[in-house]
Amino acid sequence: MSDVLEIYNYWIYIVLMMVGFYGVMAKRNLIKQAIALGLFQTGIFLFYISMAVVDGGTAPIWMADGATKVPNPLAVPAAFDNPLPHVLMLTAIVVGVSILAVALAIIINIRRAFGTIEYDELTKIEREMEAREAREAAQ
Amino acid sequence: MSEVLMIDSVLLLLVAATAIAVVEVRSLYAAAMLSGIYSLLMALVWVNMHSMDVAFTEAAVGGGISTILLIGTLVHTEREEKKRKTRVNWGALLVTAMTGAALIYGTLDMPRFGDPNAPIHNLRVPEMVNQTVGMTAGAKGKQPPPVGWTPRQNLELPLGHKQAYAMQRAHATNEARLKEAGEGHGGHGGQKADGHGAEHEAGHDDAHAHPAGDFNGHVPNTVTSLLAAYRGYDTMFETAVIFTAGASLILLLRRRRRPGENLPKQQSANLTDQVILRVMCKLFIPFILIFGLYVISHGEIGPGGGFQGGVILATAFILYGLIFGRPELHRVLPERLTDILAVLGVLLYSGVGVFTMLRGGKFLDYAFLNPASPGDGEPLGMTLVEWGVGITVCTVMITIFNQLAEEESK
Amino acid sequence: MAWNEIVCAVLLVVGVLISLTGSLGLLRFPDFYSRLHTAGKTDSLAQLCIFVGLALIDQVTVDGVAYPVDPLIRIKLIMVALLLFFTAPTATHAITKAAMLDGVMPWKKGEPPK
């Protein structure tokens, strides 16, 4: 049991990533695919932040030792979680929302041009267009 | 079992369940709401793992902005996924299961959760935490790192490592401190190490000097310290990525207006006639703005910073746009202004770097910002840099909202 | 046990119970408006109980050592409670009004649940 709990976080990260992966592959709705891509990203965030945790560690922020302030009980370097993964994921989240925004903008443009956001309908439209072009070229 | 793991095991099950619901639910509105809930749950997970800055960002970005963006898109597209005969795509499920199994097989070799001896905590951490960017050893201002910053792997960690460190620090005499300042610093001090012990002595009595135990010579929030100094270039280009996203949104969705043509009148149901919403909105927007500004400028002391504060500032404007209509938002904050400010934020960040270069330092070496007290350069430089990030993030988020909410042309 | 710890414990238990009834009602109630009613209670009363209860604590024990709580933390907790106390009912109101405008009808006795 304790063996499982020791790598439990990594398993959940795999579950999240695979749910996102399945969504991107199996779902035909473009917005659904964009959301699933976000799930995939969050799984990776979970992986990084889980690696940063140290037994008995706390947030990597120093606190002032003073009479009026709470003395930080863990104001010792070893008691910090590793701050580097936090830094990486902090910026990755904001980049993630930028990716989502650009994806949504492209989806809106697709919808304006073709009137649908379902992947299979889009491929059908594309095939029809290709067939029409081929016919016109033949004439 | 540790407290972290106890809360973790419950929260992560909830997260996994929400993730499956997000993918499987058919209504796209429900999916958008569920992804907001998912992000808030994730923020709780980050808090539980002591990653306050990430939690802050996730709550503001995932719970706030991306939900608004998704709903803004759904208004223009469709409410529901199309019905299909087969719900489950067996091929995709098989590929997913196989990939997942391979990854799980890989985790069996991972160090256990919270293991202090894991490579990630030992390999480059001493160099990382003792980074000298923005810190001139022995100069007026900040002091060199305190004693006790020995590499972590030299300690017997599992048995009361806190007490071990506390004892080590208590027993470290002033002599040892001077010795470390003289020797250990030469490694990363480079040519500055010459005669730096004497300088250090002189700096001791200086009223400007910070106490020796002062946050390892850096700003108190280690995350911000790494974000803006150790990984300063990386953060600069992340800001550039966000700016690029805003620029692409403008290219993709902004329609060119003829001169004299005004914004289209709002066609969707207007919320302006709701008195309670208007009153509460007017009551709370000032507080949201102040909180956003506080988060940006407080970033080097506590959790927060440009990314989080910028998003919070943007939500204030987006709320205003939602309640009072987008023409009103344009009157308060014209598109031209947000475009210019987004550029200025990136320029402020890189401008700090160029300024330090002109002063004779390296790009983004904050110690060269103020020659009178180079040790104080890091807080100063970080404040400037965080403001650059904050301005860009805020204006780009407002631009994205504006473009996604733009009414379709008839 | 000091008085504030007892009051804190009572408030926390009350808050958790109200949250529980809120979630239960969300699952069991027949229509949109009554479900929103239980959810709104969780947002206002339950959070107030929990935050005021937490603000009453005056020391935190970490690894067997007790540390006094910074008064600033209490002020922050009360301010968060106040903020939610104003915004959550506003949100509930906005959702209700949007549903009314959208034409969602309340459930009446005798109808099947929606």
How many other β-carbons are positioned within 10 Å of the β-carbon of residue A47?
Answer: 21
Nearest to C90 among B162, B280, B287 (CB): B280
Share of chain B above pLDDT 70, in %: 70
In whole numbers, what is the pLDDT of chain B averaged over residues? 76
Neighbours of chain A (3+ CB pairs under 8 A): B, C
Whether C76 has its CB under 8 Å from any CB of chain B: the answer is: no
| Count of the separate structural domains present in chain C | 1
Q: How far apart are CA B403 and CA A105, in angstroms?
A: 8
Size of interface A-C (CB pairs under 8 A): 12
CA distance C39 to chain A (A): 26
Interface of C with B in 1-60 (CB under 8 A): none
pLDDT greater than 90 at residue B350? yes
Local confidence pLDDT in tens for the 139 residues of chain A: 567 777 888 999 999 999 999 999 998 899 999 999 999 999 999 999 998 887 777 777 766 543 223 333 333 444 677 888 899 998 899 889 999 999 999 999 898 888 888 888 899 999 999 999 999 999 8
Q: Do C87 and B283 touch (CB under 8 A)?
A: no
Closest CA relative to residue B223, chosen from A134, A26, A62:
A62
* Distance (Å, whole) CA C60 – CA B189: 41
CA-based nearest distance A80→chain C, Å = 15
Contact B288, B316 (CB under 8 A): yes
Does A86 contact chain B (CB < 8 Å)? Answer: yes
pLDDT in the model for residue B290: 95
C111 is a domain residue = no
Name the minimum distance, in Å, from the CA of B46 to any CA of chain C: 20
pLDDT digits (tens, 9 = 90+) for C35-48: 898 988 888 899 99
Task: Count the Cβ atoms, other than its own, within 10 Å of residue A21.
Answer: 21
Question: How do residues C47-92 score in pLDDT, each as one tens digit?
Answer: 999 999 999 988 777 666 677 777 888 899 999 999 999 889 998 9
Q: What is the 3-state composition of chain C as percent helix, strand, coil, each rounded to the nearest 5?
A: 75, 5, 20
Longest dimension (CA), chain B: 80
- In sequence order, the 6+-apart residues with CB closer than 8 A to the CB of B86 are none
Question: How far does the CA of residue C29 sit from the closest CA of chain B (Å)?
Answer: 19
Residue B188: per-residue pLDDT = 38
Q: What is the DSSP string of A105-137?
A: HHHHHHHHHHS--BHHHHHHHHHHHHHHHHHHH
Tell me if C112 is assigned to some domain: no
Q: What share of chain A is helix, strand, coil (3-state, %, to 5)?
A: 75, 5, 25
What the block records as the tokens of B215 is 């946050």
Averaged confidence pLDDT in chain A:
82
Q: What is the DSSP letter of A29?
A: B
Domain that holds residue C68: 3-102
Pick from A11, A9, A2: which is nearest to B101 by CA?
Answer: A11
Chains that touch B (3 or more CB pairs under 8 A): A, C
What is the pLDDT at residue B120? 78
A68 touches B at CB < 8 Å? no
